[in-house]
Amino acid sequence: MGVIVILDSEGDDPVALATELNSRVAAAEVTKHPVFVLIIDQSFEDWIFASAETLDLNLTWDASRRGQAAIKEALRPKSYTKPVWQPRLTNRVDINLIAQRCPSFVDFTRYIDTIADCIK
């Protein structure tokens, strides 16, 4: 058993952020299970947006657009609140479609597989 923490870098240096968070987890000794911190070097919304056609938001995938901006625009006049919308939209994504459009997502899934092998 292990704990996986997944965050997007939100413009911060992902390596520095991962180093800081790993240090904080180690110092806190919050769990007896291994903790893995994964930092996405783009926004999580970019992956969600890569499955634009499945989101029921009248969106069309465009590799040149950022996911958060596209999602916010599609939701107007409602506001985009991450804790509310990320779970809803994540439940609607097509993982295979994201994998076709986002090489970073494929890298991420490989890392998850590696972690799973470590905690068996």
Q: Fill in the amino acid letter for 118.
A: C
Q: Which amino acid is at 18?
A: A
Task: Give the pTM.
Answer: 0.81
Whether residue 32 contacts residue 88, with contact meaning beta carbons closer than 8 Å, is answered with no
Q: How many residues does the chain have?
A: 120
* 16 phi and psi angles, rounded to 5 deg: -65, -40
pLDDT tens for each residue of the chain, 120 residues long: 778 888 888 888 888 988 898 888 888 766 677 888 888 877 899 999 999 999 999 999 999 999 999 999 999 999 999 999 999 999 999 999 999 999 889 988 888 888 888 776
SS3 38: strand
The answer to whether residues 44 and 66 touch, using CB atoms and an 8 Å cutoff, is no
